[in-house]
């Protein structure tokens, strides 16, 4: 808890939990605001599931060769790309590339975060570190729906919420990059 690197990585470790929980919890409102048919969006979850599994397996192999420290800063820009796709898309078929990129991000991110903590801190306190990080992730996921809901209830266009979240993801990537280089 006294290591600044941990706190610099927390925004990246918890960001996907609150952002994608918020997006998926309010997916009907987001899809409606875009004027899309929800069936097309829902069908794209298949692409999410497949790419998440494949990306997780590939990322694991890359981490074994390169290290999680090298990969970690690149997971959040992938998240930003997914959010930008959804923010700017006008065609309902854009749900597919959105879900594919979310799957790539989630597969990379979850695999990378699991490997990053022991690389940074060793195995001695890994249980406590992972427990704290997981608890923060659960808390963050609980914040997603009310944060998005508040914005939507106040009349904020989903475009702005998604772009703000993409900006958050890029800022978290910078913090992670600095933290793992120390």
d(CA 177, CA 172): 9
Range of the domain at 98: 4-181
pLDDT tens-digit series, residues 104-150? 999 999 999 999 999 998 888 888 888 999 899 999 999 999 999 99
> How high is the pLDDT of residue 1?
67
> How high is the pLDDT of residue 124?
84
How many structural domains are present in the chain? 1
pLDDT tens digits in sequence order for the chain, 182 residues long: 688 999 999 999 999 999 999 999 999 999 999 999 999 999 999 999 999 999 999 999 999 999 999 999 999 999 999 999 999 999 999 999 999 999 999 999 999 999 999 999 888 888 888 899 989 999 999 999 999 999 999 999 999 999 999 999 999 999 999 999 87
The one-character DSSP state at 123 is: S
pTM, entire model: 0.92
Cα four-point dihedral sign 8, 171, 101, 64: negative
Most distant CA atoms of the chain, gap in Å: 52
Residue 67 neighbours by CB under 8 Å, 6+ apart: 119
DSSP string, 59-120: HHHHHHHS-HHHHGGGHHHHHHHHHHHHHH--SGGGHHHHHHHHHHHHHHHHHHHHHHHHHH
> CATH number for the domain including 121?
1.20.1250.20
> How high is the pLDDT of residue 2?
81
d(CA 67, CA 133): 19
- Give the distance, in angstroms, between the CA of residue 17 and the centroid of all CA atoms in the same chain: 6
Nearest Cα to Cα of residue 101 among 150, 135, 52: 52
């Amino acid at each position: 808890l006294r290591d600044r690197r941990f706190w610099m990585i927390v925004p990246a470790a918890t960001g996907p939990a609150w952002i994608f929980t918020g997006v998926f919890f309010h997916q009907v409102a987001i899809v409606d605001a875009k004027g899309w048919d929800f069936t097309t969006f829902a069908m794209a979850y298949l692409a999410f599931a497949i790419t998440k599994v494949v990306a997780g397996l590939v990322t694991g192999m890359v981490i074994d060769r390169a290290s999680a420290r090298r990969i970690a800063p690149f997971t959040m820009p992938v998240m930003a790309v997914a959010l930008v796709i959804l923010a700017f898309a006008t065609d309902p078929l854009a749900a597919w590339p959105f879900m594919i990129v979310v799957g790539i991000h989630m597969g990379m991110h979850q695999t990378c975060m699991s490997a990053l903590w022991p690389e940074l801190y060793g195995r001695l306190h890994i249980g406590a570190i992972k427990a704290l990080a997981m608890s923060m992730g659960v808390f963050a996921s609980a914040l997603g729906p009310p944060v998005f809901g508040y914005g939507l209830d106040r009349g904020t266009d989903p475009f702005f919420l998604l772009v703000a979240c993409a900006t958050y993801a890029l800022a978290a990537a910078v913090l992670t990059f600095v933290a793992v280089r120390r």
